[in-house]
Structure 1
């Protein structure tokens, strides 16, 4: 059976947890790593404060050893229960990425519903620093 991209994203959304911008801004997850899964040029144009850029195309390959995950020289793998909040432009890529990380064993993964656009449209702070 062939699926459309929209169906694939809808399936992922049914298996992950999403936060809307208001939920994330009102009660940011303590110690959560905020990951922008967009491409570097998108990230450079603006992103959520404190977010790290780990593009969707390399996420699964680099997540375990990324410095933002708190890895040290003696601990080369990310902790699977570390809270993660992923986002992209509109929420599709981050939903797929969240599902993928769950399959890799990460247990506390969220996707930002509506992505960066929903965050910006809600008037919440962004940065390009």
Structure 2
């Protein structure tokens, strides 16, 4: 088996982005609003807590993305009903989401794409955001419910 020459991250991003059409914040918002896209936020918790979330977006940690969106997977989200679902992956600035979208394409999710500029571009465009919900603290198992 031939080993290909190493590529840098910039070239890799260029290659994967050439395989699909990325969407800008307004187009992503309109597709979601019209029921034609599932917005998937892969940012880690600290960024969601700092900057907020997009109402209606599904939060899926990056390390669980493929398992949650594979329509054939046993750990899929209820929204992962087919390979035809249009998924818009959102990271903080639009870099990790490109690699994630390419990974979803490898699973057969041919309509997967990512948000150009990520959450920061969404927020700068004045599109809806809300503060991240505060996680419920783990209840003390020795305490009786009120």
Taking structure 1 as the reference length, the TM-score comes to: 0.82
Pair 1:3-2:13 in alignment: no
**RMSD, matched Cα:** 1.8
Moved more, 17-26 or 84-93: 17-26
Judging by fraction of residues, say which structure has more helix. 1
Measure, in 1, the Cα distance between the counterparts of 2:65 and 2:114: 14
Measure, in 2, the Cα distance between the counterparts of 1:22 and 1:120: 11
Report SS of the residue matched to 2:54: coil
Q: Which of 123, 126, 136 matches 1:123? A: 126
Gaps of 5+ in 2: 134-146
- 1:59 is aligned to 65
Q: Which of 38, 43, 47 matches 1:38? A: 43
Judging by fraction of residues, say which structure has more strand. 1
Encode CA deviations 1:9-50: one digit per residue, 9 max, x unaligned. 121111122110122234435242210111222233312111
- The higher relative CO (CA closer than 8 Å, separation ≥ 6) is in 1
Which stretches of structure 1, 4 residues or more, deviate above 6 A after TM superposition?
A: none
Gaps of 5+ in 1: 71-77
Residues paired across the two proteins, number: 122
Measure, in 1, the Cα distance between the counterparts of 2:31 and 2:68: 28
Pair 1:97-2:107 in alignment: no
Q: Please state how far the C-alpha of 1:61 moved relative to its aligned partner.
A: 2.6
Taking structure 2 as the reference length, the TM-score comes to: 0.73
Encode CA deviations 1:77-128: one digit per residue, 9 max, x unaligned. x411112111101111111111110110112212111100111111211112
Aligned residues of 2:104 and 2:112 also touching (Cα < 8 A)? yes
Aligned residues of 2:42 and 2:90 also touching (Cα < 8 A)? yes
